[in-house]
């Protein structure tokens, strides 16, 4: 299994500066496992484009399978881009400022060709002050929240955001910050809307984050998202770091202001290990960075066997500014909304209590 993981990362690194040289593309019995994993991690487009560019070789049958998978992925992406325009339009009509995140922004601006980067949903960032309005706009056209707030107003003040499923099945992740828990609470939200770049979808300009902020967000996604990050999330980090136009010193300054340099370091280290890339100044910095006490304690809520949403929420308390805000934060976690408790069987409250016990050493979180 270890060899398979390394091979998969090396294959998905093709086209990057410092990517490992492959003597031969895995054939025979290895191909089925490789392709299945690429499907699971939305990396079929990476493989297909690397074959098309001659960076790796494949048999005619493998090329055909890749072609079918890649076409399906790109059809889905074009469909999602069409709905991205509709979502951005709805929010603009309500005078809500927006930045499109991840998928189409990264695909069109950071990859050699958008066909290299597949995605499966729509992510938008809105100002915290208009977050509730943005959710209402999407609910008004038939959208449905995938999960409710622990208490009314909690998401707008302290949460990362919410996923709204539209009537056509499209999932729209509405963000007000870049992560749940402490590293979402230390983000200086105003910085996210200072300046922007533009991506053109169907001849229409759509605002996205600046280049440096796109990398910061990619690092948050890779380091704090899934317990084992998808290879596409890691590829995003490497792809952006390979740009000669990126100001990595500014990226680090952002991380320092947000008390999150350890997030950047973890994402870069994970990326270089998984993709087997040659060392760079950025990767060497990441390897040597250990962070301060706050960063280390905050990161522990996102990694390891005890990672959970409840632990992230509890770990966020030191990052909440002001006594009254801290009291409100604790009250929301300790006393969830009665309707929420009924829908979830009181589960979140129990998870918070268990996470607190784990934090104080009295119980491990399952």
User: Which residue has tokens 């070789």?
Assistant: 57
The pLDDT > 90 percentage for the chain reads 71
Rounded Cα gap, residues 259 and 295, in angstroms: 7
Q: What is the mean pLDDT of residues 332-345?
A: 67
Rounded Cα gap, residues 57 and 48, in angstroms: 10
Confidence category of residue 6, pLDDT binned at 50, 70, 90: very low
| Intervals of CATH 3.30.460.40 along the chain | 2-303
pTM score of the predicted model: 0.89
Q: Between 227 and 5, where is the model more confident?
A: 227
User: Which residue has tokens 């005619």?
Assistant: 60
Confidence category of residue 363, pLDDT binned at 50, 70, 90: very low
The reported pLDDT for the residue numbered 34 is 86
The reported pLDDT for the residue numbered 268 is 98
How is 323-338 classified by DSSP, letter by letter?
HHHHHHHHHHHHS--H
The pLDDT > 70 percentage for the chain reads 88
Rounded Cα gap, residues 270 and 223, in angstroms: 8
119: Cβ contacts below 8 Å, ≥ 6 apart: 42, 77, 80, 102, 103, 104, 107
Q: What is the mean pLDDT of residues 89-93?
A: 97
* pLDDT, tens only, 225-253: 988 999 999 999 999 999 889 999 999 99
CATH number corresponding to 2-303: 3.30.460.40
Q: 222-257: buried (b, 16+ CB within 10 Å) or exposed (e) per residue?
A: bbbeeeebbbbbbbbbbbbbbeeebebeebbebbee
Residue 1 has pLDDT above 50, yes or no: no
Instruction: Tell me which residue of 125, 126, 122 sits closest to 96, measured CA to CA.
Output: 126
Rounded Cα gap, residues 27 and 212, in angstroms: 39
Residues in the chain: 366
Rounded Cα gap, residues 172 and 175, in angstroms: 9
Q: Between 49 and 308, where is the model more confident?
A: 49
């Amino acid at each position: 299994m270890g060899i398979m993981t390394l091979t998969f990362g090396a294959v998905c690194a093709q086209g990057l500066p410092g990517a490992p040289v492959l003597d031969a593309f895995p054939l025979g019995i290895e191909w089925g496992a490789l392709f299945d994993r690429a499907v699971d991690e939305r990396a079929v487009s990476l493989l297909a484009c690397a074959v098309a560019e001659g960076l790796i070789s494949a048999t005619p049958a493998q090329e055909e399978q890749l072609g079918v998978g890649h076409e399906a992925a790109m059809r889905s992406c074009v469909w999602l881009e069409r709905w991205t325009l509709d979502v951005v339009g709805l929010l603009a009509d309500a005078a809500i400022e927006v930045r499109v995140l991840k998928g189409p922004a990264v695909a069109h601006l950071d990859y050699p060709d958008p066909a290299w980067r597949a995605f499966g949903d729509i992510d938008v960032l809105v100002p915290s002050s208009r977050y509730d309005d943005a959710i209402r706009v999407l609910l008004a056209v038939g959208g449905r929240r995938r999960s409710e707030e622990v208490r009314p107003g909690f998401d707008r003040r302290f949460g990362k955001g919410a996923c709204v499923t539209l009537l056509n099945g499209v999932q729209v992740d509405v963000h007000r910050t870049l992560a749940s828990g402490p590293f979402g609470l230390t983000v200086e939200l105003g910085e996210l809307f200072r300046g922007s770049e533009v991506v053109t979808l169907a001849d229409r300009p759509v605002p996205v984050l600046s280049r440096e902020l796109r990398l910061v967000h990619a690092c948050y996604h890779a380091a704090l998202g899934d317990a084992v990050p998808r290879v596409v999330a890691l590829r995003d980090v490497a792809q952006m770091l390979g740009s000669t136009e990126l100001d990595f010193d500014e990226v680090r300054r952002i991380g320092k202001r947000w008390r999150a340099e350890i997030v950047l370091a973890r994402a870069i280290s994970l990326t270089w290990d998984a993709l087997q890339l040659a060392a760079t100044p950025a990767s060497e910095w990441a390897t040597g960075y250990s962070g301060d006490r706050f960063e280390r304690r905050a990161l522990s809520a996102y990694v390891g066997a005890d990672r959970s949403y409840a632990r992230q929420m509890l770990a966020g308390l030191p990052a909440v500014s002001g006594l009254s805000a801290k009291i409100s934060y604790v009250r929301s976690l300790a006393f969830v909304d009665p309707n929420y408790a009924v829908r979830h069987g009181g589960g979140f409250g129990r998870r918070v209590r268990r996470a607190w016990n784990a934090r104080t050493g009295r119980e491990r979180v399952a």
